[in-house]
Structure 1
Amino acid sequence: MALTEKIFGVKLTGPEKSLIEGESSANITSDGTGSITSVQWIKDNSPLSPSDSIIFSSDNRSVSISPVQRSDSGEYQCTYTNPVSSETAKLSLIINYGPEDVSIQGEDVVDLGVRVSLSCSANSQPSASFSWKFNGSDTGVTTDTFTIDQTDFTHSGDYVCTALNRVTKRSATLKHTLRATCFSKNELLRYKCLI
């Protein structure tokens, strides 16, 4: 009667390079020692099933995902099992994507002499970096928020936010038009507009 060897040393090997949605492929390979009777794959606590983009090797010990999508991010587990033992290895994948869905929050029309903030956001993994242009010229602002301490007529114009993902090398922009007016509730400011 053949002895069933206990399983040990199970490990997973995954991609070394950053994974980019729609471009990259991910290969996850398992390895271990002992008598292997079954191999089971789990992603985020649910069984991992084959699909058009997820293909298992004939021995079920490796899986290929191509091309990767953001939904492929998560924790992968591979369990080797035999009648006397089992062992599980884990590996996490992060799929980088974006930026997309850029938005700018802030007022379109403002009084003179007030403080104004425009806030830019984008859906991106990892988080995007931001830069701003005003009427086509660089402003030097490299944060998600562009602030004007006290508005005057020279602040009227087009503000363009650019979101950049330094991993995917992709960028996206959005324009916000701001207009400073004399229709202020502040009597002093309204007087200054008239003289």
Structure 2
Amino acid sequence: MIIFLQVAVIGPPNVGKSLLTNRLIKAGVAAVSCQMDTTQRNQTAILTEGTTQLVLVDSPGTVGIRHAREVVKNPDSRILSDPEHAVEQAEHILVVHDATICTDYILHRVLHMLHRHRQIPSTLVLNKVDLVKQRELIQKPTYKCSWGETKALFANIKGWSNFQAVFFVSALTGEGIENVRNYLCELSLQKVFLNTC
């Protein structure tokens, strides 16, 4: 019997979602580029290890309608709707954030998705740790991304307090990838255990 877990990989453009997906499944399925909007639609990638199967949906970077209109030239593009579709079908959400960007918090569009689908467990993956110059500062974005105090509906939210776990990785070098993969495989096994109780 194969035990599977459907995982949505979401986050802003150019944070390394596709490279992370490739590393997690141990294959080069998703196109990778430093150019923005390389991923234009959801792409499914599957890893099977033993009886565990991880189904990862690498989604386009979460952008706004203005970006779609100006850059993609199509406000109805799947680049806008596919991240939402990936989350709607997911059993777990991986939110990927660039560890080198200390001034940006979780993108509002990502926060909106997390709020709308708060029943779906989520994990934060801080990518590009290989580019962080002072490793002792690496914990700093975690506070920002986990900050849960809300004042107005979304105006002052700067993070999400419901992440089940936070991982520090470098999709480029492979650092920390095995920990994320093992965690997701463990979640799929927990899912089966909970369903049999």
Using the size of structure 1 for normalisation, the TM-score is: 0.23
Q: Which has the larger radius of gyration?
A: 1
Work out which structure has the larger RCO, using CA pairs closer than 8 Å and 6 or more positions apart in sequence. 2
Which is richer in strand?
A: 1
Which is richer in helix?
A: 2
Using the size of structure 2 for normalisation, the TM-score is: 0.22
